[in-house]
Structure 1
Amino acid sequence: MQTDFDIVVIGSGPGGYVAAIRAAQLGYRTAIVEKYSVLGGTCTNVGCIPSKALLDSSHHYHDILHKVGKMGIEVESAKVNFTQLIDRKAGVVKANTEGLNFLMKKNKIQVLSGVGSFANNTQLKIKAADGTEKTVSSTYFIIATGSKPATISGVEIDKKRIITSTEALSLKEMPSSMVIIGGGIIGVEMASVFSRIGVKVSIVEYTDSLIATMDRELGKELNKILSKQGIEIFVSSKVQSAKNNGDSATVSYKDAGGNEQQITADYCLVAVGRKPYTTGLGIENTKVKLDDRGRVDVNDHLQTAEPNIYALGDAIKGPMLAHKAEDEGVFVVETINGQHPHINYDRIPGVVYTWPEVASVGFSEEQLKEKGIGYRKGKFPFLASGRARASDDLDGFVKVLSDDKYGEILGVHIIGARAADLIAQAVIAMEFEITDLDMGKIPYAHPTFSETLKDAFLAASGRGAINT
């Protein structure tokens, strides 16, 4: 049967646009469907990219206030121009979305604007913003619709005083205070942005640790560092409700001792995770199934119950990470092409862009204990790094977990300067099954932050000079 396209991708986030580009490279007639007026999805527009722009801006300001003086740099005055802060963020986002537009044109990918919903497994109805509709047919479809902010019982997001990270990234005026529900990745990153520029920030976290999905030593160290930076942190605290007072918001919660507590701030930012965006897709008109969390059910090939419909990224199970979605975008298209691609989900790193940064790959120490896997541990503090001392970035450590018999790397966990970049070396070590000793014996430039990895690898192998 003749179709309009070979592959239609629904959603233009990192997974979607990477899938579309790979499809076009392989010669498929490709289209991408996007309901918003710009490409890039959450990551480019209201997630990864704008948050990092604000994190970098606030980091520079914080360094001017608290760091450069002891380096011999005197600054008479420094102040935050909040409007310029937000405008600069918007400029970064605009440059990225324009780059995506260029890539679509360069690869001859047709962009279809509107909300896509399945009429059946071979036809997709697209409703544009002006209400007009059209139907396109395709041999294959890829669901890459991403996710949206989640909330909890008792907390209704009104986007005015009770907001998500989306609204927080585009506030018109700088608040004086903010309470954040959730101490996960989004919560601590947003806390860092606003605390650094002088906003009084409180975090209320349900579990007993920040970034609780990562190795617990990382969360414990991050709690200590963020508290030292002036952020108020309440763990083991269950939020009961959030109320919009008109010009402020009040969060009521039970603390670790079961006592009723309240925090009132200019804004309440809800950062309790994200949920897949799979509503309105017309799934019911196909054999595609959703699980109890609204995620698209897929097999090991990321194929749904309809053999010609695939799904990826935040719309399916697994960590909601842009780079995971990108890898899956390539994986799906190459699978359709008859190739045999591979993704090792244990090799996908997670990163938190606080300062110091946090990065992790592989098993946590808690997971190894739970599974009964024997391991040895090597730790090295940034405090002992010459490069870290030169830049006055002394907080944190590298922790290497390796197999206690063969020395294969099982997990690497970093909290420290440039952890987001350093973790790539650990991913390589794990992907190619290099031992802790071999990773410690290769040359590292001196002085560099990467030497903290070298010493942690050596410590795990039993040859380290320091093993804290």
Structure 2
Amino acid sequence: MHFDLIVIGSGPAGRRGAVQAAKLGKDVLVVDQGRRVGGVSVHTGTIPSKTLRETVLNLSGWRERGFYGRSYRVKKEISAADLLNRLHITLNHEVEVLEHQFARNRVTTLTGTARFLDPHRIEVATASGERLTISADRFLLAVGTRPHRPDHIPFDGRRVLDSDQILEMDRLPRHLAVVGAGVIGVEYATIFSALDVPVTLIEPRPAMLEFIDQELVEDLVHQLRDRGTTLRFGSKVTAIDTPADGPCIVRLENGRMVQADMVLYAAGRTGATASLDLAACGIEADARGRLAVDPRTFQTSQKHIYAAGDVIGFPSLASTSMEQGRLAACHAFGVAAHEAPRFFPYGIYSVPEISTIGLTEAEVRQQGIPYECGIARFRETSRGQIMGLNAGMMKLIFALDGGRLLGCHIVGEGATELVHIGQAVINLNGTLDYFIQNTFNYPTLAEAYKVAALDAWNRMPRYPCR
């Protein structure tokens, strides 16, 4: 059994790399240890959390509360089963689409756990007990990540859970403590908050989402506090007690304690490389199981072995992972491919959504670029009023010299969709003129681009009047 390319992992990077190689006429095998293809993205990561979010927003009536008040709900009593029913339907559909994609591109799939025997051979242990030895000219490692589980945290899958286990909960918590205010922690904290579950968000660093423009983070923090979420920044967790006759107690380094019915530990992820026996192929992972690659070619220290997706670290997005897998496959077989654009959109599916592309205001200052900002509040648009939005904002950053768009930052309803207009303008080196001179559908939230651009233009005395 020999292939041109063996892909280990069928998440976004793996499936895109496999399909790209197959379209080049190569014999491709995808090995995945899951019961069905899709990887972490489909089964425990991107798709499940976003489906859970959408279900919560629908059943809770969250989007209509601007008109009908905070007590409004579409379904009065929401259970864990209500949330998971839609999740299973969505996941089945995603898997069927992926299986069909592999089939029509003649990609061979194999369920089992792979480990290297040497730089060109792997052994796959299947669920039936078989051990298959398979060789390939090239490999793509797209194994993704798993939740970081420190030894001092008493995970039990019911009261203290990681971000995989939260998708198997059999009840909704009366009070939830979330440890870790990264992307995953913030998403789940805000999702449960939208269900009116009291949430305490704990983060050892002095602030959260430090890579996001801080004006957006401040807006998000204000919204969270306004709806009763408790924030504990600069607080490292030292222990979690789970007494049988009372709530969980999260002990903090500063001596404070947080009581909660359920604890979600979402402080980081680890590359799922432990079972690969990387030493046999001459590759080393770092302390968090991540692999170092050439950022242009995605080659590891072994030139015929590539890695892509979350296992290589930041930005750890499904969207960028797909492109990494495709570029890796192209390079592996000598096909010219364009370099990825410098800027890509970052989406955080919290409630409210956050999406951003380009430079933050802090980065613009660090680079010494003279600039001006424009702000648009969603409530200032007619569409925002129709939707009952009383929160949400768009921030555009323009260079004073020439008016080039440097950054687009959005928090609020539809942020992850709206950002693509800013993405196009930034990557095409567009300027403030585009927003002022063009017509946007009315009424839409996209009008916020023109409002923000005019807001910046009003404070740019050197910019010519159009």
Give the 3-state SS of the residue equivalent to 2:270 in structure 1: strand
Aligned residue in 2 for 1:438: 434
1:210 equivalent in structure 2: 208
Q: Distance in 2 between the 1:64 and 1:291 partners?
A: 42
Q: Take 2:100 and 2:74, find their aligned partners in 1: how far apart are those partners?
A: 44
1:275 and 2:274 matched: no
1:277-292 maps to which residues of 2 (within 5 A)?
A: 277-292=272-287
Check conservation: 2:79, 2:172, Cα contact below 8 A: no
Taking a change above 3 Å as real, the CA distance of residues 75 and 278 of structure 1, as seen in their structure-2 partners, is closer
Residue 149 (structure 1) aligns with: 147
Q: Displacement, 1:462?
A: 4.3
Q: Name the residue aligned to 1:294.
A: 289
State the distance in 2 between where 1:369 and 1:65 align: 36
Q: Which residue of 2 aligns with 1:306?
A: 302
CA drift of 1:219 comes to 1.2
**Residues of 1 paired with 2:259 and 2:73: CA distance?**
34
Aligned-partner Cα distance in 2 for 1:351–1:417 = 12
Shift of 1:67: 1.7
Residue of structure 2 in register with 1:452 after alignment? 448
Query: 1:61 corresponds to which letter in structure 2?
Result: L
Q: CA deviation at 1:408?
A: 2.1
Q: Which moved more, 1:224-233 or 1:286-295?
A: 286-295
Counterpart of 1:443, as a letter, is T
SS at match of 1:179: strand
Q: Does 1:331 align with 2:327?
A: yes
**1:315 partnered with 2:308:** no
8 Å Cα contact 1:68-1:74 kept in structure 2: no
Residue 70 of structure 1, CA deviation? 3.3
SS at match of 2:208: coil
- Structure 2 counterpart of 1:242, one-letter code: I
User: CA 1:291–1:461 in structure 2 vs 1: closer, same or farther (change >3 Å)?
Assistant: farther
Q: In 2, distance between residues paired with 1:444 and 1:198?
A: 36
Shift of 1:74: 8.8
Q: 2:61 is paired with a residue of what secondary structure?
A: helix
How many aligned residue pairs are there?
Answer: 457
Question: What is the letter of the counterpart of residue 288 of structure 1?
Answer: I
Change (3 A) 1:377 1:266: same
Corresponding position of 1:266: 261
Residue 68 (structure 2) aligned to one of 67, 70, 87: 70
C-alpha change, 1:437 and 1:277, in structure 2 (3 Å) is same
Larger mean Cα displacement after TM superposition, 419-428 or 145-154: 145-154
Provide the identity percentage.
27
- CA offsets 1:288-338 (integer angstroms, 9 cap, x no match): 233454321211211112121111011113211111100111111122232
Deviations 1:78-131 (A, max 9, x none): 221431221221221111112211211121111111111111221111111233
Query: Contact between 1:19 and 1:326, CA under 8 Å: does it hold in 2?
Result: yes
> Match of 1:280, SS?
helix
Judge conservation of contact 1:148–1:277 (CA < 8 Å) in 2. yes
* Partner Cα distance (1:292, 1:165) in 2: 20
Q: List alignment gaps of at least 5 residues for structure 1.
A: none
Give the structure-2-normalised TM-score. Answer: 0.92
The question of whether the paired residues in 2 share the 8 Å contact of 1:142 and 1:309 is answered with yes
2:252 match? 253
Matched with 2:235 is 237
Correspondence 1:368-387 to 2 at 5 A: 368-387=364-383
For the 8 Å contact 1:241–1:251, the answer to whether it is kept is yes
Q: Please report how far the alpha carbon of residue 195 of structure 1 lies from its aligned counterpart in structure 2 after TM superposition.
A: 2.2
1:389 aligns with 2:385: yes
Do the aligned partners of 1:152 and 1:272 also contact (CA within 8 Å) in 2? Answer: no
Partner of 2:124: 126
Alpha-carbon distance, 1:436 to partner? 2.2
Residues in 1 aligned to 2:371 and 2:40: alpha-carbon distance in whole angstroms: 38
> 1:203 corresponds to which letter in structure 2?
L
C-alpha spacing 1:377/1:153, structure 2 compared with 1 (3 Å): farther
Change beyond 3 A, Cα 1:152–1:292: closer
**Cα distance change on mapping 1:181 and 1:375 into 2, 3 Å:** same
1:69-148 equivalent positions in 2, closer than 5 A: 70=68, 78-148=76-146
| 1:343-358 superposed matches below 5 A | 343-344=339-340, 346-358=342-354
User: 1:57·1:85 contact (CA, 8 Å) conserved in 2?
Assistant: yes
2:420 aligned with 1:424, yes or no? yes
Q: Which runs of 5+ in 2 are unaligned?
A: 461-466
Query: 1:429 touches 1:439 (CA, 8 Å); kept in 2?
Result: no
Where does residue 337 of structure 2 map in the other structure?
Answer: 341
| Worse-matched range after superposition: 105-114 or 207-216 | 207-216
In structure 2, relative to structure 1, the CA distance for the partners of 1:274 and 1:345 (3 Å cut) is farther
- The one-letter code sitting in structure 2 at the alignment partner of 1:357 is E
The 1:451–1:423 alpha-carbon spacing in structure 2 relative to 1, beyond 3 Å, is: same
Supply the AA of the counterpart residue of 1:285.
Answer: A
